[in-house]
């Protein structure tokens, strides 16, 4: 049996320091680390000072009621003023806040003055519908400018938004409306997805029919498709469009709730993660400025996340707008109408900063270099990654094919719960290693612990914990404080348990190893699914891999891998054997998969996370569980067919 909480198996020796030119112009210098270390709270005071406050705060951090934090207590501010009004007042009204590109190719250019007028109209409209400070508003929209406007309008009047991803089902929407007792739902007739209008309104009708708390539904006309109309429904263009374009904002307490965002736990119903005002905006803006090196006057920034996820909240709406960024917002999918759509957009808008997810990067890898190579991507100067561990292979591809070997890559680790980036390189400072999120950003403290709550030290693996409260931390789970304490603060006393496995390499750089429930236990060795996946993807024939631990009489768990081959790969009949040996060679015989299934697709949620639970069902020959949250529920049939024709490939 191993003593380590997690085996430390893969080694990576490549390192990429920032270029001299990048470092010379970077917003963040190494001094930030020293400043934060010298006096952490003074450091956060200074970051909060970049926002515009109506009333200054009196206490930086009140942790007396831990784990319920209060940051910048006594202070008052308005988030929408910080994101919009103050830039207009400072003379930047003509600057573009969002370039919008619809999937069908329709475009909008929204300046900060336009945004102020739209947010003011929407705020007036919400008030006319009786929405008041503290009321909850569910937002169920496609990726269109009205989504950002709706969020900002809620913030402006002190209403609490709960954005529900437009790909979720009526039942998912209903349960979130019910949990938050939302008074208003903001939706659209539909959105455009993969070349077709995708209806949203029927799901809302179904959800609202079963939700007594909802008084009205505000409906944006996006696709023009036919919709059923109920007595609660109001058209956005009629109500919002007829409102005055000015609205007098009010300042709210720093700890006033800003939003709830539901995220899935390991068991039970989704958790409504609660974020508040001053601390959240402080850290969203601070990280956006320093991790993405944003230059408001020259950059064109594109975060590809949907507003239904926390990345869309912090890095499509709040962080970028607080910093007066010019952003690109795109409605559709990367393969519509062709697989080069993203690169076409980078070229068209001269995107300088791109922030996306490893699953997208691996998809582009699979499609081949020719597609990005046929566009001019030289405007790019910085690349970011978020959402899951990025395999070194995908990192290197991102760096060379998309970034032209010129752009620093920031691999940013954080969670819905953390509200903003926690672990990431600083692009002008850190020498990055492909696949590592490197070290906590200045102001953040973490540790890697073993089962006995001891720090593992360099070279060791274990559980990632955050050891000090941070401004954008969740303030609780909506309506369930006990679950908040139980889920995050009881595994290790007084420390935030992130639920992720991680290791520290010899230099102290952090490698994220996936959720701890994705950790396999093979013959007493804990092995991360991520490391086996990375080993598989490092083989030239493999585009993507998902690994699960399946019950095994002999070894506790056996490793079962599902792989997608690259379309241009030249493989023989013995590919399974070749890959098993490849993993054995990369990591060691202990990690050799018991079984490898070559499949055409992997089951993913709409946010791109692989649904390992379903793969475990397949690997353990069980009846498949709930597939309704899959982006494409038919994927499991394809995998099932692959399985029946595959033979178990044990030695």
- Of 139 and 157, which CB lies nearer to ligand WTA in the complex structure? 139
**Minimum CB distance to ligand WTA, residue 458 (Å):** 19
Q: How far is the CB of 184 from ligand WTA (least distance, A)?
A: 25
Q: If we measure between CA atoms, which residue out of 336, 315, 333 comes closest to residue 387?
A: 315
Comparison of 340 and 514: residue with beta carbon closer to ligand WTA: 514
Q: What is the DSSP string of 96-121?
A: EEEEEE-TTS-EEEEEHHHHHHHHHH
Closest to ligand WTA by CB, 393 or 411: 411
Residue 93 vs 427, nearer CB to ligand WTA: 427
In sign, the C-alpha dihedral spanning 240, 244, 246, 250 is: negative
For ligand WTA, give the closer residue by CB, 33 or 355. 355
Phi-psi group of 120: left, alpha or beta (phi > 0 → left; psi -120 to 50 → alpha; rest → beta): alpha
In degrees rounded to 5, what are phi and psi of residue 257?
-60, 135
- Let me know the angle formed at the C-alpha of 266 by 333 and 534, rounded to the nearest 5 degrees: 60
Alpha carbon dihedral 413, 485, 443, 461, in 10-degree steps, equals -50
User: Interface residues with ligand WTA (CB under 6 A)?
Assistant: 263, 309-311, 385-389, 411-416, 437, 498-500, 512, 515
Taking the complex as a whole, how short is the minimal distance between the CB of residue 321 and ligand WTA, in angstroms?
18
Give the nearest distance from C-beta 6 to ligand WTA in angstroms: 14
Rounded Cα–Cα distance for residues 164 and 158 (Å): 19
- Cα distance between residue 584 and residue 591, in whole Å: 6
Q: Provide the minimum distance between the beta carbon of 284 and ligand WTA in the complex, in angstroms, as a whole number.
A: 12
Closest separation in Å from C-beta 385 to ligand WTA: 6
Q: How many CB atoms lie within 10 A of CB 469?
A: 18
- Residue 297, CA atoms < 13 Å, CB-side half-sphere: 1
Three-class SS state of 219 = strand
Cβ atoms of 398 and 385 within 8 Å: the answer is yes
Smallest gap from residue 597 Cβ to ligand WTA (A): 24
Q: How far is the CB of 148 from ligand WTA (least distance, A)?
A: 18
Nearer to ligand WTA, 222 or 515 (CB): 515
Cβ distance to ligand WTA smaller for residue 386 or 396? 386
Least Å from the CB of residue 315 to ligand WTA = 9
CB 74 within 8 A of CB 66: no
Nearer to ligand WTA, 113 or 415 (CB): 415
- Among residues 516 and 618, whose Cβ is nearest to ligand WTA? 516
Is the CB of 7 or the CB of 411 nearer to ligand WTA?
Answer: 411
First to last CA, the chain: 23
DSSP bridge partners of 465: 447, 497
Phi, psi torsion values for 32, nearest 5 degrees = -60, -40
Residues 230 and 205 sit within 8 Å (Cβ to Cβ): yes
Distance (Å, rounded) from C-alpha 512 to C-alpha 585?
Answer: 22
- How far apart are CB 300 and ligand WTA at their closest, in Å? 22
């Amino acid at each position: 049996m191993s003593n380590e909480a997690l085996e430390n198996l893969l080694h990576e020796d490549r390192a990429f320091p920032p270029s001299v030119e990048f470092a010379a112009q970077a917003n963040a210098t190494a001094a930030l680390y020293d400043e934060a270390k010298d006096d952490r709270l003074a450091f956060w005071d200074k970051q909060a000072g970049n926002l515009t406050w109506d009333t200054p705060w009196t206490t930086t951090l009140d942790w007396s009621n831990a784990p319920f934090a209060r940051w910048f207590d006594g202070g008052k501010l308005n988030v929408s003023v910080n994101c919009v009004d103050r830039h207009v007042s400072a003379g930047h009204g003509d600057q573009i806040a969002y370039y919008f590109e619809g999937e069908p190719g329709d475009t909008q250019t929204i300046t900060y003055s336009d945004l102020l007028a739209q947010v003011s109209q929407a705020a007036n409209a919400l008030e006319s519908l009786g929405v008041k400070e503290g009321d909850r508003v569910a937002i169920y929209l496609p990726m269109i400018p009205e989504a950002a406007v709706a969020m900002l309008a809620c913030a402006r009047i002190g209403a609490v938004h709960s954005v529900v991803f437009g790909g979720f089902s009526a039942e998912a929407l209903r349960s979130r409306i019910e949990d938050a007792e939302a008074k208003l739902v903001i939706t659209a007739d539909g959105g455009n997805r993969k070349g077709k209008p995708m209806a949203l309104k029927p799901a809302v009708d179904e959800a609202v029919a079963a939700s007594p708390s909802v008084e009205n539904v505000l409906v944006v006309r996006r696709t023009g498709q036919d919709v059923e109309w109920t007595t609660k429904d109001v058209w956005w263009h009629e109500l919002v469009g007829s409102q005055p374009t000015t609205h007098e904002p009010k300042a709210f307490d720093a700890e006033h709730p800003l939003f709830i965002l539901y995220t899935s736990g390991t068991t039970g119903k989704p958790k409504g993660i609660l974020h508040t005002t001053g601390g959240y905006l402080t850290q969203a803006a601070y990280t956006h400025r320093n991790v993405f090196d944003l230059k408001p006057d020259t950059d064109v920034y594109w975060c590809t996340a949907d507003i239904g996820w926390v990345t869309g909240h912090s890095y499509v709406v709040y962080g970028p707008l607080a910093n007066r960024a010019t952003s690109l917002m795109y409605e559709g999918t990367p393969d519509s109408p062709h697989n080069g759509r993203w690169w076409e957009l980078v070229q068209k808008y001269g995107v300088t900063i791109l922030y996306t997810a490893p699953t997208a990067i691996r998809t582009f890898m699979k499609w081949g270099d020719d597609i990005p190579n046929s566009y001019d991507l030289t405007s790019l100067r910085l690349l970011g990654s978020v959402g899951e561990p990025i395999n070194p292979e995908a990192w290197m591809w991102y760096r060379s094919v998309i970034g032209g070997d010129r752009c620093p890559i920031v691999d940013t680790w954080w969670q819905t719960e953390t509200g903003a980036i926690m672990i990431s390189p600083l692009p002008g400072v850190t020498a990055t290693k492909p696949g590592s999120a490197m070290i906590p950003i200045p102001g953040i403290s973490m540790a890697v612990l073993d089962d006995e709550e001891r720090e593992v030290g360099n070279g060791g693996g274990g559980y990632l914990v955050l050891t000090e409260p941070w401004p954008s931390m969740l303030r609780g789970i909506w309506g369930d404080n006990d679950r908040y304490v139980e889920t995050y603060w009881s595994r290790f006393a007084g420390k935030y348990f992130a639920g992720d496995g991680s290791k520290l390499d010899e230099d102290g750089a952090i490698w994220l190893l996936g959720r701890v429930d994705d950790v396999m236990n093979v013959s007493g060795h804990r092995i991360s699914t991520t490391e086996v996946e990375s080993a598989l993807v490092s083989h030239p024939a493999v585009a993507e891999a998902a690994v699960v631990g399946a019950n095994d009489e002999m070894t506790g768990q056996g490793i079962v891998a599902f792989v997608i081959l690259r379309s241009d790969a030249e493989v023989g009949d013995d590919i399974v054997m070749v890959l098993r040996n490849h993993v054995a060679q990369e990591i060691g015989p202990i990690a050799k998969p018991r079984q490898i299934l070559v499949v055409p697709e992997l089951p993913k949620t709409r946010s791109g996370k692989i649904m390992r639970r379903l793969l475990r069902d397949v690997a353990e020959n069980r009846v498949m569980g709930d597939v309704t949250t899959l982006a494409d529920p038919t994927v499991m049939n394809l995998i099932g067919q692959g399985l029946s024709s595959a033979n178990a490939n044990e030695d």
